[in-house]
Structure 1
Amino acid sequence: MLFALLCTDKPGGLQLRLDTRPDHLAYLNDLNAKGILKIAGPFLGEDGKPTGTMAIVKAETLEEAKAISEADPYAKAGLFSNVEIKAYNWVINNPEA
């Protein structure tokens, strides 16, 4: 099952995001190597700077998706003001369909 992780940065979190980015990317690369991560990237503000993160992950349950989200170095560093996790059905352009 797929889940969308919709994460909103705290106001003024850009420096924390930049400082934590190498660990965050290493975490995502590990998820990708394990076949868990399907897509990921930042939301951008009008100024083109990151304001949050969206990731699609493969997990058996909502609880597992939540654990994946909570293990992200950005989450551990306290970057996010809000995280929403929703079941997701990848219909168009899904390479596994």
Structure 2
Amino acid sequence: MLFIVSGRDKPGGLADRLQFRPQHRAYYAALEDDLVLAGPYLDAAGEPVGSMIVMRASDQQAAERYARADPYWTEGVFASLDVSRWDWFMKRPEDLTS
């Protein structure tokens, strides 16, 4: 199953985001093929203010557990975190398994 992990940074959190970025990226890179895509939300100035990750997990609970162990969540970079099951409907790669 596919899940969207959507985290929004706390206000003024850029310094914390940059501090924990290597750990955050390594954490999701460890998913290997179960990481489908990822990238930051940007504000009007082009600065990162959150993250969107599409990942594969066996169920909602597994996706929630994984997302809530992300360093951006555990270290307080994110003010909010949402995990939603998702179906890639349009322009889905033919070889994508969910």
Q: Same fold (TM over 0.5)?
A: yes
Q: What residue ranges of structure 1 are gaps of 5+ in the alignment?
A: none
Instruction: Give the secondary structure class of the aligned counterpart of 1:91.
Output: coil
Please identify runs of 4+ aligned residues in structure 1 that moved more than 3 A: none
Residue identity (%): 38
Matched, 1:75 2:73: yes
Shift of 1:92: 2.4
Letter of the 1:9 counterpart = D
Instruction: Give the secondary structure class of the aligned counterpart of 1:71.
Output: coil
Q: List aligned pairs for 1:49-60, cutoff 5 A.
A: 49-60=47-58
Q: What are the superposed Cα offsets for residues 60-92 of structure 1, whole Å, 9 maximum, x if unpaired?
A: 111111111012111111111111111100122
Matched, 1:13 2:13: yes
Q: What are the superposed Cα offsets for residues 20-69 of structure 1, whole Å, 9 maximum, x if unpaired?
A: 011111112111x2x22111100000010001000011111111111110
Instruction: Give the secondary structure class of the aligned counterpart of 1:15.
Output: helix
> May I ask how many residue pairs the two structures share in their alignment?
95
Q: What residue ranges of structure 2 are gaps of 5+ in the alignment?
A: none
TM-score, with structure 2 as normaliser: 0.90
Matched, 1:87 2:85: yes
Shift of 1:19: 0.4
TM-score, with structure 1 as normaliser: 0.91
